[in-house]
DNA sequence: GGGAAGATGTTCT
DNA sequence: GAACATCTTCCCT
């Protein structure tokens, strides 16, 4: 289970945000936690552009919280909202502060451990990781992963090539924001049970 | 030091 | 569909 991850190269992330967001669908999000490895498949993402996107955190300017967005692509941007964490991947070339929000994943391996992390176990299996806050809880992702390089298997969090690409991508407006509501920047795998909402 | 807002989740109606 | 729980970050004083 440890052997054959094919990591996405840095160049994958150094492209326009909507492209990367769409291309991340189906890829494997891998969390190394102690001696175990949790493997999930990305099924839903949202694109947050740089300074021209009023809904993006980066549009408010560079702060301590958002500084990683202005740095190198291929790193994790983790922030808190209410009692939850959200995971983003920094994209676009340096100084262009785009990022991709990972909204939902499908558990492939280590499901028992993810269930232990969730404080409110539900009857439906799909509620484990079907939302940005939920998947962070299930994978044990918190602010300590801020700035993690996801292009190397040495990290405790990294992204690997997809195992299957035979799916249909749907596009809708983003969820849970108050500005730029109409932009079609949310992408998800059609028919997947773990997609939020 | 204080106050307001927030890329959410859960629960209730 | 709406309310609320409850905490960090940022900006102002």
Place of tokens 């994790």: A76
pLDDT band at A2 (very low <50, low <70, confident <90, very high): low
Q: Please give the average per-residue pLDDT across A75-88, as a whole number.
A: 96
**Strand C positions closer than 7 A to protein CB:** 5-11
Per-residue confidence (pLDDT) for residue A119, from 0 to 100: 86
CB of A119 nearer than 7 A to strand C: no
Is the pLDDT reported for residue A34 higher than 90?
no
Among all strands, which nt has the closest C1' to A69 (CA)? B7
Q: How confident is the model at residue A184 (pLDDT cuts 50, 70, 90)?
A: very high
Q: How far is the CA of A195 from the C1' of C13 (A)?
A: 44
pLDDT of A4 reads 80
CA A186 to C1' C6, in angstroms, rounded, equals 28
The fraction of chain A above a pLDDT of 70, given in percent, is 97
CA A9 – CA A73 distance, rounded (Å): 10
Confidence of residue A3 (pLDDT cuts 50, 70, 90): low
Nucleotide nearest to A65 (CA to C1'): C9
Q: Which nucleotide has its C1' atom closest to residue A133's CA? A: B8
Strand C closer than 7 A to residue A79 Cβ: yes
Whether residue A125 has pLDDT greater than 80: yes
Q: What's the whole-number mean pLDDT along residues A143-157?
A: 97
Q: What is the pLDDT of residues A40-71, one digit of tens each?
A: 999 999 999 988 999 999 999 999 999 999 99
**A124 vs A11, residue with greater confidence:** A11
Over residues A63-92, the mean pLDDT reads 96
- Spanning CA of A105 to C1' of B11, the rounded length in angstroms is 24
Q: Alpha helix locations (H) across chain A?
A: 10-13, 17-23, 111-117, 132-139
Q: How many residues does chain A have?
A: 197
- Round and report the angstrom distance from CA (A38) to C1' (B12): 34
Confidence (pLDDT) at A144: 95
From the alpha carbon of A179, which nucleotide's C1' atom is closest? B7
CA within 13 Å, CB half, A197: 12
Residue with tokens 């009692």: A83
- Please tell me the predicted confidence (pLDDT) of residue A154: 94
**pLDDT over 90 for what percent of chain A?**
89
Confirm whether any atom of chain C, the nucleic acid strand, is less than 7 Å from CB of A64. yes
Is the CB of A66 less than 7 A from some atom of nucleic acid strand C? yes
What distance lies between CA A140 and its chain's CA centroid?
A: 13
User: What mean pLDDT comes out for the span A7-22?
Assistant: 98
Question: What pTM does this model have?
Answer: 0.95
């Amino acid at each position: 289970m440890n052997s054959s991850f094919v990591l996405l190269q840095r160049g994958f992330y150094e492209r326009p945000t909507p492209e990367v967001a769409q291309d991340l669908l189906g890829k494997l999000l891998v969390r190394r936690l102690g001696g175990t490895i949790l493997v999930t498949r990305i099924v839903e993402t949202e694109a947050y552009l740089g300074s021209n996107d009023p809904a993006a955190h980066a549009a408010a300017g560079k702060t301590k919280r958002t500084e990683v967005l202005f740095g190198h692509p291929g790193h994790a941007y983790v922030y808190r909202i209410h009692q939850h964490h959200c995971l983003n991947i920094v994209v676009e070339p340096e100084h262009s502060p785009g990022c991709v929000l990972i909204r939902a994943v499908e558990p492939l391996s280590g499901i028992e451990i993810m269930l232990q992390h969730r404080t409110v176990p539900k009857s439906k299996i799909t509620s484990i990781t079907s939302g940005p806050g939920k998947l962070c809880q299930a994978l044990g992702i918190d602010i300590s992963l801020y700035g993690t390089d996801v292009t190397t298997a040495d990290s405790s969090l990294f992204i690997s090539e997809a195992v299957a690409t035979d799916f249909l991508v749907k596009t809708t407006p983003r969820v849970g924001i108050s500005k730029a509501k109409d932009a079609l920047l949310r992408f998800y795998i059609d028919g997947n049970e773990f997609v939020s909402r």
